[in-house]
Structure 1
């Protein structure tokens, strides 16, 4: 029997890649690159979104 994957809601802003490391172009004294760690502001670094709440319009 095939296994079915769960449908998780992936963040549409970061497409599931919630954290990125960006190099600044400079190096530390030991030769490693200086990087900045940036997280997605929409999902706050989780990569997933919460399901939308049910909204009733009208009566």
Structure 2
């Protein structure tokens, strides 16, 4: 069985998990934990990165 390469480039900083929720340790009145969302700063929460620019030789 052949393997296919993924066409989407996964962010290497967050490994495709761009947004995580961190607990603050406090409880709200209903008894649930309060959380804060933190997005990956490298991909701005998308989980993918653009391909690096390739060098093009111009002229002779």
- Whole-Å separation in 2 of the counterparts to 1:3 and 1:53: 26
Partner of 2:39: 39
CA RMSD of aligned residues (A): 2.0
TM-score of the aligned structures, taking structure 1 as reference length: 0.81
- Whole-Å separation in 1 of the counterparts to 2:4 and 2:55: 30
TM-score of the aligned structures, taking structure 2 as reference length: 0.80
Runs of 5+ consecutive residues of structure 2 not aligned to the other structure: none
Partner of 1:54: 54
Q: How many residues align?
A: 59
Runs of 5+ consecutive residues of structure 1 not aligned to the other structure: none
